[in-house]
Amino acid sequence: MPRHGKPQQRQPLLLPDAAPAGDRGGDGGGGAMRRRRFVAFLAISVALVASYHHLAPAPASRYHALFLSLGSNDTAAAHLRALTTRPHVAGTEANAVAAEYVRGVLSSSSFPTRVTPYSVLLSYPIHRSLSLSLPGHAAAFNFALVQDTYPGDPYVEASAEVIPTYFAYSGSGSIAAEVVYANYGNTKDYAYLASRGVDVAGKVALVRYGNLHCEDMVRNARAAGAAAAIVYTDAKDFGGTGAKGKRKWFPDERWLPPTGVQVGTLYYGNGDPTTTPLWPSCAAGEDCERLSKEELDGSAAMPGIPALPVSARDGETILKAMGGDAAPTEWQGGEGAPMYRLGPGPAVLNLTYIGNETLATIENVFAVIEGKEEPDRYVIIGNHRDAWTFGAVDPNSGTAAMLEIAERLYKLEKKGWRPRRTIIMCSWDAEEFALIGSTEWVEDNMDMLSSRAIAYLNVDISVFGPGGFSPRSTPQLDQLIKEASQMVRDPDDPSQTLYDTMIRHHPPIARVAGAGTDFAAFLQYIGVPSLDMSYGIISAAAISLASANIIVLAVEDYPVYHSLYDDYVWMERFGDPLFHRHVALASVWGLIALRLADDEILPFNYDSYASELEKCTKVVEGGCPGCPVSFAPLHKSINQLRKAANKIHKEKMMLQADNWRLKTRDYTVKVRDINDRLMMAERAFINREGLDGRPWYKHMIYASSDQDDWGTKAFPGIVSAIDKANKLNTAESWQLLQHEIYRAARAVSKASAVLDGRLT
């Protein structure tokens, strides 16, 4: 089809006249005539071929290069400003306005759009109070529990709409008890308290934000016997450096102000708590099966105890009132902080929290660009829209980047581009509560997605500062990420590409597995290849965690996380003043989507997967020296995967070398066969029974740790079984570990069989 004007009619192919019977050679007049006709035929053929190439659509690579040239800093900035004028928690009118903005931008690009609503259980605060009492003091100190605005704050009026600081799904109740300081609130911290004779039972556990997410902190406090939990933001981690009197914070610096509070969710699950796990929710007014309130209250996924987040200033006030032994050096605060003591008491905290858990409507927004040759194959890109406050970094830097991609794709369409496969753009709702929007949609469309989804490409936070490109993915996408990042200049150093800055990280590409954002349902529930990416500072702490296969956004990277101060001003001053980082991230994100949508043969490389699993197996074995089990089944299955990966790679290379047969049916069938095997191999890592004790998590290779909902663990079932066996040291526990090794090995062998295209 021509790029301009109406389609032109192709002329029928002219063949030379057949020679008369009996006249098969010679130099007579008949032969000369045949030669003249043949020469004329060649000339017409050459002209037709030239005409065909002139009229044929431009190759995909040309459109991909054009896509990279269409980025707009101003467009990204305008979208972010529009999305962050008001705080927009899921289930509120302001978030419905944000949903309509996203739908309007997508529909203005002439893409078919739709909104899919679900009625789900959300949690809001009704009443919060916290006071501190000391023996011998008649009056208690009442905490304000308010995040202060600052002089000249352009969002001071909108700040009145910010939801009061709280933890979603916190247990309701009133507790008056002494305080125990438990550092970052992990299981090792509580073990240390027990070793020092500090009893947490019935007390209020005071913990500080760090390398665990809040739901894990509160779960650990409950497991230790605490009656309630207070989680505060320590100035050492979030408040910057320098002497106490000289420290600066937002709006002067990027650090969290003393009254800043990080809010979050305590639900230890994914999706609507009334319908998850294993079946989807429905729209308001429709009938769907739900758990009862009694079933919810008794669920291990609910925190079960009252909990409240507080500021650095409030946390320090509590610590000053505590007695007991001095905490270890590594538990202490920064320069100028008081001595931190373990307790218990003599300070007594009186905490009351009453929450309202109610069914509310959330809205997922979609745009669909239908594929021309393979409309039944989906490349899905997504980002959540809801935010605890203004959400300039989390998540709307990602939303702005996705809308900027949409506008570029619209311009490509006007130039004649159509994707080979269907591209679906998704704006998820209620991610902050429990990945609800994406999880319900995946559960709702599981069968279609299981057979048709090529990959899910997620960006939650697209930009949180300078520093570099940080992708994480399932391993078959590694090579594609490298190739795409080589095509995009680094916005902070145009002499380098994103690839150049990425390979300075250790590792350059981390693994996507923890339950931190919306890829979870795609990867861990139905086995769709997935990635997530961002642009920002890579601290030494983050690199250390990444090298241990644990992905945690270090607090110094983005200190205003989930607080009042995550607004457009913070992004404009500290995150991305020129908005060129947004554009660069959108460029590599969109280019990866285009390659997956347009490449005739999917750019997946499973040799990377085999290499990664070999490394992970060594790590797992290293955590179990002398264990009375055999890892031989796992090694054998990984060797099978490598052989299958090499085989399909050779098939791909041979097929591409024979591309002169492009229009033959055999070629088309073979391309489809290879692509199906490449697409479906990840599904083979799914086990219908799921992980032990966590049936929703079905991926045998990558999932969150059962001790850390955000931590990434390879072979999570094996890692959990090793931990139990080392503690119990019983024949049954070692037998369970061997069983988990076999389960992982079977999953890898299944993936090998899919790649190989064979039946047993």
**431 a catalytic residue:** yes
Please state, in angstroms and rounded to a whole number, the distance separating the CA atoms of residues 416 and 4. 8
CA atoms within 13 A on the CB side of 214: 30
Residues 6+ positions from 437 with CB-CB distance below 8 Å: 90, 118, 362, 364, 384, 386, 428, 429, 430, 431, 518
Cα torsion 519, 522, 523, 525: sign: positive
Using DSSP, state whether 119 is helix, strand or coil: strand
**Of 662, 639, 594, 691, residue with least CA distance to 63:** 594
Please state, in angstroms and rounded to a whole number, the distance separating the CA atoms of residues 489 and 481. 14
Q: Where are the alpha helices (DSSP H) in 599-664?
A: 607-622, 632-657
Q: Which residues pair with 368 in a beta bridge?
A: 424
Q: Are 269 and 687 in contact (CB under 8 A)?
A: no
Q: Are 590 and 405 in contact (CB under 8 A)?
A: yes
Q: Are 283 and 118 in contact (CB under 8 A)?
A: yes
**Of 502, 480, 415, residue with least CA distance to 67:** 415
Q: What token pair was written down for 754?
A: 């899919």
**What's the burial of 495, exposed, middle or buried (CB within 10 Å: 0-12/13-18/19+)?**
exposed
Please state, in angstroms and rounded to a whole number, the distance separating the CA atoms of residues 667 and 659. 8
End-to-end CA distance of the chain: 45
Peptide bond into 395 cis (omega under 30): yes
Q: Which residues pair with 142 in a beta bridge?
A: 131
In 3-state terms the chain splits into helix, strand, coil percentages (rounded to 5) of 40, 20, 40
Q: Are 366 and 425 in contact (CB under 8 A)?
A: yes
Please state, in angstroms and rounded to a whole number, the distance separating the CA atoms of residues 30 and 481. 63
Rounded to the nearest angstrom, the gap between the alpha carbon of residue 683 and the centroid of all alpha carbons in its chain is 18
Please state, in angstroms and rounded to a whole number, the distance separating the CA atoms of residues 741 and 691. 12
Of residues 407, 431, 440, 682, which has the active-site annotation? 431
Using DSSP, state whether 147 is helix, strand or coil: coil
Please state, in angstroms and rounded to a whole number, the distance separating the CA atoms of residues 728 and 211. 27
Cα torsion 209, 211, 216, 221: sign: negative
Please state, in angstroms and rounded to a whole number, the distance separating the CA atoms of residues 204 and 227. 6
Q: Which residues are catalytic?
A: 431
